[in-house]
Amino acid sequence: MRALKWIGAGVLALALLTGIVGGGALLYLRTGLPDTRGEIRIAGLEGEIEIVRDAFGVPHVWTSSERDLWLALGFLHAQDRAVQLELVRLLGQGRVAEIVGPRALPIDRFYRALDLSRAARNAYVAASPELRQRADAYAAGVNAALASRDGAPPPEFLATGHKPERWESWQTLLWGQLMAMQLTGDWRDELFRLRLGERYNAELETALWPQWGTGDAAIVAQADPELAKWATAIANALPRPAGPDQASNTWIAGGAKTATGKPILASDPHLGLGAPGQWYLARLAVTGTDIVYAGATAPGAPALVLGHNGRIAWGFTTTNADTADLTIERVDPANPALYLTPEGPRAFELREEVFQARGAAPVTLTMRRTRNGIVISDFDAGAASAAPNGELLALMLPVIAAPDTTADAIVRLNRANNVAEAFDATRQWLAPVQNMSVADRNGTIGLRVVGAIPLRNGGDSPLPKRGWTGASGWQGFVPFDRMPARVDPANARLSNGNDRVVGSEWPFYLGRSFDAPFRQKRIVEMLDLRGGQTPAYHEAMLADAVSVFARDAIAAASWLSPVEPRARAALERLRAWDNAVRADKPEGLIFNVWVREMTRRLTQNALGDLAADFGRERPRMVLDALNRNSPYCAGDCPKLVSDSLVATIEWIETRHGRSLDRWRWGDEHNAPFDNPVLSRLPLIGWFLSVDIPTDGDYFTVNRGANSARDPDRPFAHIHGAGYRAVYDLADLDASLFVVAPGQSGHPLSAHWADLAPIWASGRHLRLARNRTELGSDADILRLAPPR
């Protein structure tokens, strides 16, 4: 998380004072590694818990009750991911500045304004008995692990003197709310459109947010140039997004396509990559029953988020639904304590919040809320004063508008026996909106959009509406029975790559920020390529690096005939290419740098001084330029395309020499798995560096997203599939899994990054189905009640 970067100075000071790279200090820090053998006695257990770790530190847990499973999971998360667990809690409560200082106050202001703590507390009180039991058990496990720690604290805590508080049951609901915020970004697009001012028009809307052949025309509202500077001031005061656009893949081959006649489901959620990773792999089972959970858990959550339960398997992709709105509010000129509504002036909801920042005096701020959400233009005095007519900007989200019951939906999903029960479980799903793929052992396959999609007063608008006009606000959500769903299609396959999941025939507004369909097209190609598919075939699909975008782009450039010899040689290489973006080949490097150079010129022409704040891949703009019909080529698309190719060669030669045959995509495209604190430090950062070359790019199934605006590492693989899995419904115990870079969050653990090479090579692990498969030399830790 970004807030941890600010702990870096403290860690560096600690390194200088104690010689942290010295042998004695290292030995001390190693005392903080968790106990993985022996016995620990814990109050409140219903029976004995056995935790057996495999060679990669993946825990296999056996208990005598399901309650104890979740206690064991809390214990394991606190053992292996203590810092990550603490940051989930502090970020959700808007308290990061307490350990990193005043520079974290903008982050805290934003999350405190959302009031996720109140939402989580209310959700816990209203939760089902089963969810409360899970949350209570999980909290007990976290606290037991923290109490049993008798060695050195993690380096991040050692640097700041921070000591985690006792975990409370309601805090287990914060992780889901934070994930919902991370996967909800349309409101930032609304704010960016507002910043465009008079530049904004239908042509630009289509170029930046294309609908990719759905038949939907661009919907454009009238921009207000007077508000553009104000919108920029607001944007500058907000926490910046965590990274590239979110993405994921999921697909199911029905029994008609597989060797066993049972479905195979593959899933690989794409999020920011770092050390530790976002996911924690585990297998949990209740001895003597059929209760088993295997797959991806998340530190902070008492649930299996992605995986199988022995009867069904499931995966998610982000729908990219528009579930957040900005509304421009106007203060009552006669009384600044009121704001205008169609029914007359109304009082703000006010809340005083005290912010404690490490090393600084407490700061008290007033949070305002209108009927249209939290006021985000209050976060910065400059933004507030820049409003031409005293306007305010309010943000509405489902978690603000309605009680959050998503955690209960996940509990029901964990217990589902078939596709129908899994679908029904999501009646309680609020946010984030996801495409859920499910397959069961009976052979049924299904895909359903889950979550709350708003029904808006006055219809959709790509720009913020005016709150005093009556056109703003929500009328509820799309009814559950009207949400998109498909079961057992005739073509025996279901898939999604964040592209639009329904066509324009669906009667409700879904969104306009869908991913380009290139990954989805490639997935469908492979699913339809052959019958008799096996888990190994789907494992290879997850590693597939063929770029449909590259194929389309190079075909569109068939007219191009460079005069410059080096550019001509590079283009000939691309035309002979199989479009597989391999780390050990030059073509992926040439193509991606060329796309970056074209995108840079096109967005500069389209956006001017705002181009630097729109650092995304824009494949529609690139294809239009290659087809010589873009309005953003400054009147000469052939010149822009050709100049970009020459600039590509010059950029690569500067960094990698003049020999094309020695260029390698992996020299630029590597996964560093940075730790937000320790990787920034001299020597320590080098010692912890992973920097493993990877196949794929932004548009391949094996997605390796980068930040092209980063001047030093524009192609570093910083966003992608930190968890991958292939579930075989003929034998779920034979399913395949991997997380990256490793199971542990402690830099001195053997499991800090030991899974990274397996992950990068496209390989996976099988989890043991019983104790015998783990071997006699496996680490065994027993948790037992007090004597």
The residue with greater pLDDT, 731 or 226, is 731
369-373, 500-504, 651-655: which has the minimum mean pLDDT?
500-504
Confidence band of 9 (pLDDT split at 50, 70, 90) = very low
Note the pLDDT tens digit of each residue in 183-240. Answer: 988 899 999 999 999 999 999 999 999 988 765 556 677 778 889 999 999 999 998 7
The residue with greater pLDDT, 141 or 226, is 141
Whole-number Å distance between alpha carbons of 554 and 320: 28
Confidence band of 708 (pLDDT split at 50, 70, 90) = confident
pLDDT of residue 17: 39
Confidence band of 687 (pLDDT split at 50, 70, 90) = confident
Whether residue 562 has pLDDT greater than 80: yes
CA atoms within 13 A on the CB side of 172: 34
Pull the structure tokens for residue 12: 């560096």
Please, which residues bridge with residue 315 across strands? 437
pLDDT of residue 710: 84
Q: Please give the full DSSP string across 592-627, using - where no structure is assigned.
A: HHHHHHHHHHHHHHHHGGGGGG--S--HHHHHHHHT
pLDDT of residue 686: 73
Confidence band of 242 (pLDDT split at 50, 70, 90) = low
Whether residue 364 has pLDDT greater than 70: yes
Whether residue 657 has pLDDT greater than 80: yes
pLDDT of residue 159: 78
pLDDT of residue 438: 98
- Chain centre to alpha carbon of residue 472: 29
3-state secondary structure at position 547: coil
Mean pLDDT to the nearest integer, 134-139:
98
Mean pLDDT to the nearest integer, 668-696:
84
Note the pLDDT tens digit of each residue in 440-459. Answer: 999 999 999 999 999 999 88
If DSSP states are collapsed to H, E and C, what string results for 714-769? CCCCCEEECEEEEEECCCHHHCEEEECCCCCCCCCCCCCCCCHHHHHCCCCECCCC
Tell the residue number behind the tokens 């690139």, with chain if given: 622
Confidence band of 22 (pLDDT split at 50, 70, 90) = low
Nearest to 130 by CA among 365, 319, 291: 291
Give 660's contacts (C-beta < 8 A, 6+ positions apart): 566, 569, 570, 573, 586
Note the pLDDT tens digit of each residue in 534-557. Answer: 999 999 999 999 999 999 999 999
pLDDT of residue 1: 41
Nearest to 582 by CA among 700, 665, 671, 702: 665
91-100, 432-441, 637-646: which has the minimum mean pLDDT?
91-100
Confidence band of 144 (pLDDT split at 50, 70, 90) = very high
Note the pLDDT tens digit of each residue in 598-629. Answer: 999 999 999 999 998 886 789 999 999 999 99
Confidence band of 683 (pLDDT split at 50, 70, 90) = confident
pLDDT of residue 613: 84
12-16, 154-158, 288-292, 495-499: which has the minimum mean pLDDT?
12-16
pLDDT of residue 18: 45
**Is this prediction's pTM over 0.85?**
yes
Length of the chain: 787
Q: Please give the full DSSP string across 428-492, using - where no structure is assigned.
A: G--SS-EEEEEEETTS-EEEEEES--EEETT---SSPEETTTT--SEEEE--GGGS-EEES-TTS
pLDDT of residue 244: 59
pLDDT of residue 216: 54
Answer yes or no: are the C-beta atoms of 184 and 457 closer than 8 Å. Answer: no
Note the pLDDT tens digit of each residue in 583-606. Answer: 999 999 999 999 999 999 999 999
pLDDT of residue 13: 43
Pull the structure tokens for residue 168: 């409370």
pLDDT of residue 471: 87
3-state secondary structure at position 10: helix
Q: What is the DSSP letter of 78?
A: H
Whether residue 241 has pLDDT greater than 80: no
Nearest to 593 by CA among 671, 654, 673, 517: 654
pLDDT of residue 225: 83
Query: CA-based Rg of the chain, rounded to a whole angstrom?
Result: 26
